[in-house]
Amino acid sequence: MNFNNLEKIGQKELDRQGKYKRRIFCCTSTACLSAGAGQVHTSLDQSVEACRCDEHEAEVVKTGCMGLCSSGPLVRVEEKEKDPILYGNITSELAQQLVSRHVPIGEIDDELEEGDQDLSVTPHDMLHYRASLKKAGKKSDLDKNIISLDHPFFSKQVKVVLNETGIVNPDKLEDYLAHGGYQALAHVLENMTPEEVCDEILESELRGRGGAGFPTGMKWNFVRKEGAEDKFVIVNGDEGDPGAYMDRTVMEDDPHRVLEGMIICAYAVGASAGYLYIRGEYPIAINRIRKAIRDARRRKILGKSVLGTDFMFNADVRIGAGAFVCGEETALIHSVEGKRGMPRMRPPYPSTSGLWEAPTVINNVETMANVPSIINNGADWYASIGTEKSKGTKVFALAGHLRNTGLIEVPMGITLREIVYEIGGGIPENRGFKAAQTGGPSGGCIPEEYLDSPVDYESLNKLGSIMGSGGLVIIDDTTKMPDFANYFMEFCVDESCGKCLPCRVGTVQIGKLLDKLIAGDGSQEDIEQLENLCETVKTTSLCGLGQSAPNPVLSTLKYFRNEYDELVQQAQTADSGLN
């Protein structure tokens, strides 16, 4: 074991960080980058430079997602012995003001030094900002951009998977080590047998976060018990569900956490190679995971001798090319093998015959990211969070008609009402709540009367929806439910791989019936046929895609039947009007 070296590197980084009086964190996750975080980061850097202060006065740090994506770009200032301050909607110019407010300005000559004219932020600018800040007294324009960290959006969350996102620099292995990274792996390699690791995960009652909720420890045990020489670990990062970006955020913002979970899994099941299958639409996630793998290899965390032990493990990235069905495990395996991503009959399950017919563990990114925390804090700790059957936390991408949207991590069992009205801040523009859609095209719509039900696997299933991978879209009363159901059906028509008939033909026919109803040409019989067809597709399709594709239609039929009836009535009145 040579974990001591890594610990030393982590400690050195921690000491280095401790020397700075203040650290300015700038979110560089996809959502904030889209809102202009790239320029903000450059501007922060240049402004700190322009302050001409002592080197240890301030450091600008690139981090991952801070959660409140609707107010991006986000910047957080942490000063020693002071409460952190979070700023939202920062522009390049506001970034300069922000620096002048927090960072002391050193000695600056009246005359600009040579080369200063070419800078986009000169020391004189900083003096100017400082002066106008003084003039304005305590009331500065910047105050409007401060977001209270006591807001329920932050205080209601419990962070396990997202514990270090927004704090560590995702491109720096040292930073992850400084925050206790790879300690779980070191502990596992030194003190635990593969069987003990599987049992620990089993006891934590961690369930697959890809949506189906299969007990992770059980899956690992199946593969561990297989006698094959070659075994594989695949991390499923093919997040095709529209409106969901949890896995991308974890991969982008804390890549080493995913990698650590993956290596622990490989040790537990006896695999020597693994793949991270990442959606092609996620270039930043791909680059950061690749860098994490390179760095881990260099530090001997991956390779022939992991941390100096005789356990060997190699990880590589495979890029998906945009097929929703590849989220299904057998389809994903085919895709990694370079084939069309089509599912096959199960059994045999991948745990007996997976990638290249070898026993294979496939887990979602979020599932893997839970593993290091479980090892570090113990199975009991993890099992103490959540409800009786659903333990731990769940990350949701909260979107739609809400005041606060972004990425949240909540304990299982929290009510939808708390998520919508406290974390999400309610529906804007004085509109009413209509439905919460979980699980994307495979999930369902939950109406207002069930807002107090807890968010866990069983409760959501009972309501005709699913936990899904973590997309949570809130819609207000301006949305027509048949239209909304049709939107998801169009998606499934497009994404059906075409292998089995119920899904290939059924989804198209469901779509046609919906079109007919929406166009005002439908009758009650069409609604009945729609219901029957949905049941047929649900029960007879080959894989999860087809089996769950009717959920949006079925759940809206169940809870918003009146809207379908209205469409039929309108059609009838229009007809009688013509006569």
Partner 1 sequence: MTTKKPIRPEEEVHPSGDERYLAIDRTMKQFKYERDSLLEVLNAAQEVFGYLSRDLLIYISTQLKVPMSQVYGVATFYHLFTFEPQGEHNCIICKGTACHVKGADRIIEALSEEFNINAGETTPDGLFSLTIARCLGSCGLAPVIVLDGQVYGKETPEAVSRRAAEVVSRSKEELTQTMEVG
Q: How far is CA 165 from the centre of its chain?
A: 11
Q: Is the Cβ of residue 219 or residue 499 nearer to partner 1 in the bound state?
A: 499
Cβ atoms < 10 Å from Cβ of 5 = 12
The tokens describing 358, both together, are: 């070898």
Does position 289 interact with partner 1 (CB under 8 A)? The reply is: no
The tokens describing 147, both together, are: 């977001």
d(CA 320, CA 341): 9
Q: Is the Cβ of residue 264 or residue 475 nearer to partner 1 in the bound state?
A: 475
Does position 72 interact with partner 1 (CB under 8 A)? The reply is: yes
β-bridge partners, 438? 444, 472
Q: Is the Cβ of residue 33 or residue 186 nearer to partner 1 in the bound state?
A: 33
Which positions from 411 to 440 touch partner 1 by CB under 8 A, shown as an x/- string? --------------------------x--x
H/E element holding 84? none
Contacting partner 1 within 16-45 (CB under 8 A): 30-31, 33-35
Taking CB under 8 A as the criterion, the residue among 70, 97, 157, 360 binding partner 1 is 70
d(CA 292, CA 257): 10
In one-letter notation, the amino acid at residue 299 is: R
| Strands, sheet with 406-411, edge to edge from the N-terminal-most edge strand | 406-411, 393-400, 471-476, 433-438, 444-447
Does position 176 interact with partner 1 (CB under 8 A)? The reply is: no
In whole angstroms, the minimum distance from the beta carbon of 55 to partner 1 comes to 32
Q: Is the Cβ of residue 348 or residue 498 nearer to partner 1 in the bound state?
A: 498
Contacting partner 1 within 433-472 (CB under 8 A): 437, 440, 471
Q: Which residues contact 307 (CB under 8 A, 6 or more apart)?
A: 1, 2, 3, 6, 182, 185, 186, 189, 300, 301
Does position 236 interact with partner 1 (CB under 8 A)? The reply is: no
Vertex 481, ends 553 and 496: CA angle to 5°? 40
Q: How many chain residues touch partner 1 (CB under 8 A)?
A: 52
Does position 298 interact with partner 1 (CB under 8 A)? The reply is: no
Cα four-point dihedral sign 276, 348, 272, 215: positive
Contacting partner 1 within 241-260 (CB under 8 A): 241-245, 248
The tokens describing 187, both together, are: 């502990």
The tokens describing 528, both together, are: 């009945």
Cα four-point dihedral sign 74, 422, 469, 400: negative
In whole angstroms, the minimum distance from the beta carbon of 344 to partner 1 comes to 15
Taking CB under 8 A as the criterion, the residue among 18, 84, 308, 322 binding partner 1 is 322
Taking CB under 8 A as the criterion, the residue among 153, 176, 275, 491 binding partner 1 is 491
Taking CB under 8 A as the criterion, the residue among 7, 199, 281, 515 binding partner 1 is 281
In whole angstroms, the minimum distance from the beta carbon of 148 to partner 1 comes to 18
Question: Which residues lie near partner 1 (CB under 8 A)?
Answer: 30-31, 33-35, 68-72, 239-245, 248, 280-282, 318-324, 335-342, 397, 399-401, 405-406, 437, 440, 471, 473, 475, 479, 484, 487, 491, 497
